Structure 1
Amino acid sequence: MDTNPTITKTEEAVMISPIQMLAHWQGHRALTRKLIEVFPEKEFYELRIGGMRTFAELCMELIDIAGPGVKGMATGDWHIDQSDEDMAHSKAPETKKELLALWDAGTETIDQYWPRISLERFQEQDVAFGRYPGPVYGMALYFIDNEIHHRGQAYVYLRSLGIEPPAFWDRPN
């Protein structure tokens, strides 16, 4: 008896649906947003520990990657509006309120472009932002992993300030 049924490359690669993956990522984004909200304004822009960037700077990296990254995954257009060859990230706005507006705009961009990514597209090779080659699904995983990593840094910052951060599991799925 043949125990290896014929499976297409796309079927073989699907563990969860793209809609489930989007919900997973948006759960992480909602939790990161909670951390931004509870972070004291002054420390959001000034606190550094052990050479790490401020949480405001980390958030700008996430903002600069997420929406444009999903747009690139969907369209193949990886254009960024920054002239810096080292991909320096945008400067944070002056208030958390303004940064949260950018965060929410990025979430809307993700919601707009994610459904346009076909199962086949997730398997294609591309070069994110003209610099990072790999499969499109790997880019999505990197965007999520990078956010989790930077959120972990924010947990360290909040705990150093004596603030109990939101539970890491407290996110919608």
Structure 2
Amino acid sequence: MESTTSTLLEQGITPSDLLKHWQGHRGLTRRVIEAFPEEAFFNYSIGGMRPFAEMVMELLGIAGPGIKEIATGKIQELIEQVDHGNKKVKILELWDEATNEINTYWEQIKPEQFQQNIKIFGQYEGTVWSSIFYFIDNEIHHRGQGYVYLRALGIEPPYFYER
């Protein structure tokens, strides 16, 4: 009994399970972006927080480039501004491109890499695991801010548990 328990505790989450979990979050964040009226997406703000479009650009600057850096070992520049022409459809296109980039580079990450120490974007130290968890946690954090905005605008946001 004890060896079975310790084996179960040591299993944790597999890389493929983590990718599936993250992509569930990404799909939900995409639906939050879709729920915003165009004008509000780029300009609405509460309490000094940035408009949701700016938060999403930060997420775009982190996710795809971060996974690419982990997979290739080549330091990526952290770019949190993208040319979107104040068009939500362009942001959604970039979101989909980043999702594909994550899937492509994820396949190149070897299981033994997840425990390795890295300095993501040449400046943030941690392990591959902790960096990926940061990418996910940061997305959840900003999506929560998007939920506040949507509710303040009188819009019912997507259910957070529907991933």
TM-score (norm 1): 0.86
Q: Contact 2:57/2:81 (CA < 8 Å) preserved in 1?
A: yes
Report what 1:58 is aligned to. 55
Report what 1:106 is aligned to. 98
The structure 1 segments of at least 4 consecutive aligned residues displaced by more than 2 Å after TM superposition are none
Q: Contact 1:57/1:91 (CA < 8 Å) preserved in 2?
A: no
User: Unmatched 5+ residue regions in structure 2?
Assistant: none
**CA separation of 1:21/1:98 partners in 2, compared to 1, >3 Å: closer, same or farther?**
same
Of 144, 149, 168 in structure 1, the residue corresponding to residue 160 of structure 2 is 168
Of 19, 31, 35 in structure 1, the residue corresponding to residue 32 of structure 2 is 35
Task: Quote the RMSD (CA, aligned, Å).
Answer: 2.1
* Counterpart Cα distance in 2 of 1:16 and 1:92: 36
Structure 1 residue 118, shift from structure 2 partner: 1.3
Greater per-residue helix proportion:
2
Report what 2:110 is aligned to. 118
* Counterpart Cα distance in 2 of 1:36 and 1:69: 21
Report what 2:68 is aligned to. 71
* Counterpart Cα distance in 1 of 2:64 and 2:79: 16
Q: Of the two structures, which has the highest relative contact order with CA contacts closer than 8 Å and spacing of 6 or more?
A: 1
* Counterpart Cα distance in 1 of 2:113 and 2:10: 12
**CA separation of 1:34/1:152 partners in 2, compared to 1, >3 Å: closer, same or farther?**
same
* Counterpart Cα distance in 1 of 2:75 and 2:146: 28
Number of residues of Structure 1 aligned to a counterpart in Structure 2: 160
CA deviation map 1:58-78 (0-9, x unaligned): 000000100000111111112
Q: Contact 2:42/2:52 (CA < 8 Å) preserved in 1?
A: yes
TM-score (norm 2): 0.91
Q: Contact 1:34/1:166 (CA < 8 Å) preserved in 2?
A: yes
